Amino acid sequence: MWNDLEVGWQAAFGSAWNAFKEKTIPIGAAIVNEQDVLVSTGQNKIYSKQGNPKEIYQHHLAHAEINAILKLNEEEHPNIRQYTLYAVMEPCPLCFGAIVMGSIRHVKYAARDTWAGATILNSRSEYIQSKKIKVEGPFADLEKIQIALQTYFEYERFRTDIVVKRWETHCETGVKLGRNLFAAGTLRKFANDNCTAGHVMDYMFERIDKK
């Protein structure tokens, strides 16, 4: 599966896995230009203890999409409105606002977020509608992988399934996989062994529909 993914998905999920390894929320984003060349990546760094000058970290605004967008500007990227942002999770209100104001006009997201997702704003605001942003998502198999990763993290850090139950209403398979992986401690072991995102995603993909 990993080798068949678009470069944007590989970069976004690679960033999400890096976030998981840093024990922060496993969400990643990537931006590709009109030739599908990767130009920026970002990861959630809310609980990260380090970052670079163009990133936000150790702050509740340190979301993946924000960090990817902050690395670009229109002077250096005059065709930015032709770029595509890939996000492993449906952008929240903060991130969708940044997409609008950051001149991104094409968004692909892997997994729905029935808790904080805000792509509905694309059709609810006259101002945002005027930007003509194309939104694509979710993508079924990628959604299962991301929901499994998020479920694992929620149990590991917060020891609660309040948010998980919301995801379970539309992605029961992904939640089930995440619970099973958490019970076995699999993903944290992979992180400690510094396994690649490709290895982890292929491992999870093989187990998506297994009983």
Q: Number of H helices and number of E strands within the chain?
A: 10, 5
Q: Which two tokens stand for residue 51?
A: 């970052």
3-class state of residue 29 by DSSP: strand
Distances (CA, A) of 131 to 20, 72, 116, 146, 161: 33, 19, 22, 28, 37
Catalytic residue (one of 65, 90, 143, 168): 65
55 is catalytic: no
Backbone phi, psi, residue 23, to 5°: 65, 35
Active site residues: 65
